[in-house]
Amino acid sequence: MNDSVDNETEVYKWAFGPTISGLLIADTTLSVSFSVLVNSIIIIAVITDSKLHHNKFWYGLSLAVADLIGTLNLGFGCYNILYDGWPVQNRPLCKFWSCIDFTSGLIASLTIALISFDQYKLVRYPDIYEQEETGRRVAGRIISVWIFAILFYFPPVIFWDMVVGYSVVAIDQCDPEFKEVFWATVFQSVVEFFIPFTVILVYNYKLIKFIRGQLSKVHYLKQELKKVPRESTIFTMNSAEHEKIEARIFERERIKEEIRSIDVGRKNARSLIILVLLFFCVWFPWEVIGNLVEPICKCTPDDLYQAVYWLNYHLVVVNAIVYGLTVQRVRYHIKRLFVGCASTFFRKTSHRPKEASKSTVTPSREQ
């Protein structure tokens, strides 16, 4: 009896010392707060701001919703790491967490692949982009990604042990039943990471290559722009040359517009490349170590396994960081929120002393 009690209390002991556990809890709190706040601002901004009603921001909205749902994983993940297990011993809750965890990650990777395709097509083929990439087509892709991710993960996570007739996961652990099935983990990694990331790499490589070519074109256009006379020179010209000069003025405006278009595409590509790099750095270590190396050799040091496991959960913060820092309109909404809150706070704190000073001055004047 005493042994069973000791074993039960052992399950509920923290796996780390107070310092590491405190840092883990603090990191979870900050990451959850940041993800919820910024992703919520992104969602509200895209819905309410007409300047953000563009295809790439609708994809960003889908990514923000997935990250907001995936933020639940940080809390469960922190709990799982702190106790090095699942002491709550609630199998339905464990399956719910696994479904949210896997599905939100798959939605994120597929959505970033769609963003890469969309951005490449926008920059490379702007003439046909507006005709082909309609709002209905974008909505269809987003809905298809969500349906595919749900159907890909919910059935195996929920019904695997029921189909095979037994469970291989201990009651105090929370792992998917197919974790020990090597072909299943490989197939999972291929679908949720390697195929989307291959698409991401291909389109971003083509985008970078095209933009590098455009930079030399910008240099050439700026040289051509210097050769075109400004509007003020029209009045010094002969009337017979007026039509020719107007054509060159029109050419000047066309060149300036083309330069602006290239600059916008370059800035958008920069934010996308940052998103892809962060996505790779956060997710790739887990896919290699957690889903490939560990199922094969069982030789991964526990500290390394836990580190890449925890790093992977910060994927929900990546979108918030990129959109919050690189998209000017989203940055404007974030700034407006913080400035509004700060001004309201200082207005309330500075309002009370003024009232007090007025109340003390008024009686002295009466005297």
pLDDT tens digit at each of 367 positions of the chain:
444 444 444 445 777 788 888 888 999 999 999 889 889 988 998 899 888 888 878 998 999 999 999 898 888 888 888 887 787 778 888 899 899 989 998 999 999 899 889 888 888 888 888 888 888 999 999 999 999 999 999 999 999 989 988 888 888 888 888 888 888 888 998 999 999 999 998 998 888 888 777 766 666 666 666 655 555 444 555 555 566 666 666 666 666 666 666 666 667 677 778 878 888 888 888 888 888 887 777 788 888 888 888 888 888 888 777 777 667 777 788 888 777 776 676 666 665 555 444 444 444 444 3
Residue 358 lies in a domain: no
CA-to-CA distance for 220 and 227, rounded, in angstroms?
Answer: 11
Residue with tokens 């095209």: 210
What's the pLDDT at 240?
A: 55
107, part of any domain = yes
Give this prediction's pTM.
Answer: 0.79
CA distance 160 to 311: 27
CATH of the domain at 87: 1.20.1070.10
List C-alpha distances in Å: 240 to 189, 228, 245, 276: 70, 18, 10, 56
Residue 367 lies in a domain: no
User: pLDDT value at position 21?
Assistant: 86
User: What's the pLDDT at 339?
Assistant: 73
pLDDT of residue 366: 42
> Is residue 348 in some structural domain?
no
Domain that holds residue 52: 2-338
C-alpha 74/C-alpha 338 separation (Å) is 25
C-alpha distances in Å from residue 257, one per residue of 208, 221, 232, 343: 21, 11, 20, 39
**Is 366 inside any structural domain?**
no
328 occurs within a structural domain: yes
Provide the number of structural domains found in the chain.
1
Q: Is residue 312 part of a domain?
A: yes
The per-residue pLDDT for 361 is 46
* CA quadruple 353, 356, 362, 367: dihedral sign: negative
Q: Which two tokens stand for residue 39?
A: 């992703």
pLDDT confidence of residue 5:
41
